[in-house]
Structure 1
Amino acid sequence: MIKKDTLLGELFAEFIGAFILIAVGAGSVAALVLMGESYNLWDISLIWGIAVTMAIYITGAVSGTHINPAVTITLAVFRGFSWKKVGPYIVAQIAGCFSGAALVFGLYNKSFAAYEQANGIVRGSIESVSTAGIFSTYPQALLSNFHAMFVEIFITALLLIAILAVTDDRNGNAPKGKYAPFAGILIGLTIAIIGGSFGALTGFAMNPARDFGPKLFASLAGWGRIGLPAPNNYFWVPIVGPILGALAGGFIYDNFVRKYMPSNQEETAESKTA
């Protein structure tokens, strides 16, 4: 049975972690698009990665800082995370991402208006994808939805393999003991590297809450159908792709890496001789 006070604290932590992710990450994109700051793809990717690291250090001791439905579902499938918590965690994650987008919009509100006026952009028109993209991800125009989904499957699988590896007690190369906190840095760097390598294709969502929450906010804040369901009904791709990719990553890590770690093989040999 889940203790209500414990679960409530975990949900607050997931909300706060997701809020930090979008507030910092989308804030950097707002500075790039609206203020003309000279960020490049690596700069933006690194900021998103550091945002995740920040969230881990702030909330990890309470909830584990999933801040991503794909992570939560994968941990339930492969690591015994309680299925009773999956739904509440996802709601908290989406709410945190929605609120992070709202904060960025509020802080940059006048900049949004000035940018739209200067560039002749009507909020809610197809041209306003350029500003809606501050909050959530949209693919390059040359990509089909299925191509974009494959990108999201691959990069999220890579992310989950890294997360499972650096947090695995059986992995002799994972940081442990007094070095365990370095796992948060490694996860953040993994996100930055993935963003720097493949972010130009789809915006490297890798997280259904990170995308759906801000898209929901944008749809309510004047972007309408540009937010949801997004051009070409794209909204489902950053939901389905990351979940499939995360599950694939969990399967690959457990069956093709973890299974062959020395400690695991020793346990198997002992069970056979017992």
Structure 2
Amino acid sequence: MYSGLYSKNYLDPPKYEKALGSKMDSFRENFADRLRSENTILREFCAELLGTFFLLLIGTAANIQNTVAAGGNATSAHLAWGFGFAFAVYIAANVSGAHLNPAISFTQYILGNIPFPKVIIFSFAQLIGAFLGTAVTFVGHLDDINNHDGGVRSVIGENATAGWFATYPAAHMTGVGSFFDQVIGTAILSGCVVLITDKRHRIPQGVVPFLAGAIMTMIAMTYGANGGFAINPARDLGPRVFTLVVGYGWETFSAYNYYFWIPLVAPFIGAILGAWIYKILVGMHGLNEDLDITGGKPYPREDRGYKGSSVSSIRPMA
């Protein structure tokens, strides 16, 4: 006669479950020990990679749905980019400062907050993350892409889909206009992030990433139509390289009179301008005031320039 699993010939339920739980705990501990790293550079590299990956995963998917999905519209895409940026900052803020943008990393070097080697490391991580985020979006929306272009990957034309990933200018835009579009958009991003990380505003740390997302949405709604608001060299170059790899051809770089260099270069200028405009007109003044910051030392601290802070971080920066 069948006696069931919990007969006297088997372990009783409490002992069996306890033994299984102990083995699972041991497996998890061993697995975690093998993966865990205390190497600061590696941790920051991974945080920048994952944060930028998530930003592009959400943003490029929003671009596609804005174009091909029922109910998609520009406003929903703008909001998705903002939400994506907010959660991307949450991902990386406590590890690397969540730069997620080579122009922001370079600006932090100019301000003296990080050493130059970190600019290279962060930028490489951001570029890889942008490439991979775009790749996942491409696979996840492959049917939408094929339905729109019939499998013919093109950069220019009625059925072009390259602009869902990398950025390209509107038909009426000149090279000069496109350049200033990127400079101004990135200056707004950089300056506003310096603002929200200024300790004198007493903004709770957990709110800063949400405000960063609001900044991204604001830029998308005001400087998004003319050139796709790249405002980030990695956000544009990563997807541009990916579209080249998957069959869009060298036109990804040569289209619109080699437009690609503008979102690659102009954001560096804009990020530096935005940060310094805030610092010169607001951030550097009143540093001798003693303002009590809840949970910390009296303001200002000895560094007076907030060394060690990061633009997209929850740490002070002004």
| TM-score bucket (shorter structure) | 0.7 to 0.9
1:130 aligns with 2:160: yes
* Partner Cα separation in structure 2 for residue 56 and residue 200 of structure 1: 24
* Partner Cα separation in structure 2 for residue 143 and residue 174 of structure 1: 41
1:16 aligns with 2:50: yes
Residue identity over aligned pairs, in percent, reads: 32
* Partner Cα separation in structure 1 for residue 261 and residue 115 of structure 2: 25
Counterpart of 1:173 in structure 2 is: 201
What runs of 5+ residues in structure 1 fail to find an aligned partner? 269-274
Q: Residue type of the partner of 2:106?
A: I
* 1:192 positional shift: 0.2
Considering Cα pairs closer than 8 Å and 6+ residues apart, tell me whether 1 or 2 has the greater RCO.
1
* Partner Cα separation in structure 1 for residue 131 and residue 221 of structure 2: 25
* Partner Cα separation in structure 1 for residue 215 and residue 271 of structure 2: 14
* Partner Cα separation in structure 1 for residue 75 and residue 114 of structure 2: 33
Q: Assess, with a 3 A threshold, how the Cα gap between structure 1 residues 81 and 125 changes in structure 2: closer, same or farther.
A: closer
Of residues 32, 39, 64, the one that matches 1:5 is 39
Q: Residue type of the partner of 1:55?
A: A
Q: Residue type of the partner of 2:167?
A: T
* 1:128 positional shift: 6.8
The 8 Å contact of residues 94 and 209 in structure 1, kept in 2 or not, is answered as: yes
Q: Assess, with a 3 A threshold, how the Cα gap between structure 1 residues 129 and 191 changes in structure 2: closer, same or farther.
A: farther
Counterpart of 1:247 in structure 2 is: 272
More helix by share: 1
Q: Residue type of the partner of 1:48?
A: W
Q: Assess, with a 3 A threshold, how the Cα gap between structure 1 residues 111 and 40 changes in structure 2: closer, same or farther.
A: closer
- Cα deviation, 1:188-216, whole Å, max 9, x if unaligned, reads 10110111112111111110000000001
1:115 aligns with 2:148: yes
* Partner Cα separation in structure 1 for residue 192 and residue 269 of structure 2: 16
* Partner Cα separation in structure 1 for residue 62 and residue 218 of structure 2: 17
Of residues 107, 112, 115, the one that matches 1:74 is 107
* 1:129 positional shift: 7.4
Of residues 152, 158, 164, the one that matches 2:188 is 158
Q: Assess, with a 3 A threshold, how the Cα gap between structure 1 residues 98 and 130 changes in structure 2: closer, same or farther.
A: same
* 1:60 positional shift: 1.2
Counterpart of 1:65 in structure 2 is: 98
TM-score, length of structure 2 as denominator length? 0.76
TM-score, length of structure 1 as denominator length? 0.87
Matches within 5 A, 1:222-261: 222-260=247-285
Counterpart of 1:207 in structure 2 is: 232
* 1:79 positional shift: 4.3
Query: Cα RMSD over matched residues?
Result: 2.1
Q: Residue type of the partner of 1:173?
A: H
Matches within 5 A, 1:24-35: 24-35=58-69
1:56 aligns with 2:86: no
* 1:125 positional shift: 5.5
Q: Assess, with a 3 A threshold, how the Cα gap between structure 1 residues 75 and 264 changes in structure 2: closer, same or farther.
A: farther
The 8 Å contact of residues 69 and 90 in structure 1, kept in 2 or not, is answered as: yes
Q: Assess, with a 3 A threshold, how the Cα gap between structure 1 residues 215 and 151 changes in structure 2: closer, same or farther.
A: same
The 8 Å contact of residues 149 and 159 in structure 2, kept in 1 or not, is answered as: no
- Cα deviation, 1:75-96, whole Å, max 9, x if unaligned, reads 1111421212110110110000
- Report SS of the residue matched to 2:169: coil
* 1:264 positional shift: 4.6
- Cα deviation, 1:249-271, whole Å, max 9, x if unaligned, reads 122111111122x3356799xxx
What runs of 5+ residues in structure 2 fail to find an aligned partner? 1-36, 291-298, 301-318
Q: Assess, with a 3 A threshold, how the Cα gap between structure 1 residues 40 and 82 changes in structure 2: closer, same or farther.
A: same
